[in-house]
Amino acid sequence: MAETPNENELREAFCEIGRRVWLRQYVAANDGNFSARLADGNILCTPANVSKGFMRPEQMGIVTPEGAKVSGPLPTTSEILMHLEIYRLRPDIKAVVHAHPPHATAFAVAGDPLPRCVLAEIEILVGEIPIVPYATTGTPDLSAALRPYVPGHDAYLLANHGAVTTGRDVFEAYYRMESVEQYCRVLAIGKEIGPWTQIETGKVRELLKVREKLGLPEKRHQLSDQELCPPTTPNRGNVIDDIVRRVMERLRKTD
């Protein structure tokens, strides 16, 4: 990755990413928040109660790794505790993006675990995307709920809430948000067409090697084939369609 951007570059990057998530409808009103580590160890973060599509560089705030405010004209994001917990557990992470993209959030609301081993790009660039149990936003409970998932994952869905992605810089974290939303969109469309199909486990292991060549941490090599690519759960829509089909067949037989 490139060298750590300076503070001014990060402020500008936050505004650009804010415009992108707003235009893509990943956030509504004042939703969402971003943060990034600064060279001195402090954390630059977005302000509270400001639309991400209309932020200005001077509105960003700075906090210490413990959460004490250093500077900023506005209150910092109410979800800063979640960001700080991620940085505490993962020294390699330099940026965090949180948003509410519709398809990803729909899976988080439905409680549908995302299938593994379906899209090569996800296996390489994102990895497994777990659903974190619900906890109240902006509280230590959310940090505690995240804690078991942070060490082994770069992206998570927050139950009944939204999505969080991380990266070695703020654009990598943002691109992962795009990838997660695109994946969930493809899955949702695929549900209407037929069962999801999975990549062969051996081919997935080849993708993990590609991931490592990109310098991304990978701990899935030790998993068994069943653990690496567990079978996908039946699609609810297909189950309902099958029930309707069988009922109609029986009705025709009784005519």
Residues annotated as catalytic are: 79
Give the type of residue at 97.
Answer: V
Query: Both tokens of residue 196?
Result: 């999801």
Q: For residues 172 and 157, give the distance between their C-alpha atoms in angstroms, rounded to a whole number.
A: 17
Cα 180-161-148 angle, rounded to 5 deg: 75
Q: How would you class 174 by CB atoms within 10 Å of its CB: exposed for 0-12, middle for 13-18, buried for 19 or more?
A: buried
Largest CA distance in the chain: 78
Give the type of residue at 8.
Answer: N
Residue 150: count of CB within 10 angstroms of its CB: 21
Q: For residues 27 and 100, give the distance between their C-alpha atoms in angstroms, rounded to a whole number.
A: 5
Give the type of residue at 196.
Answer: W
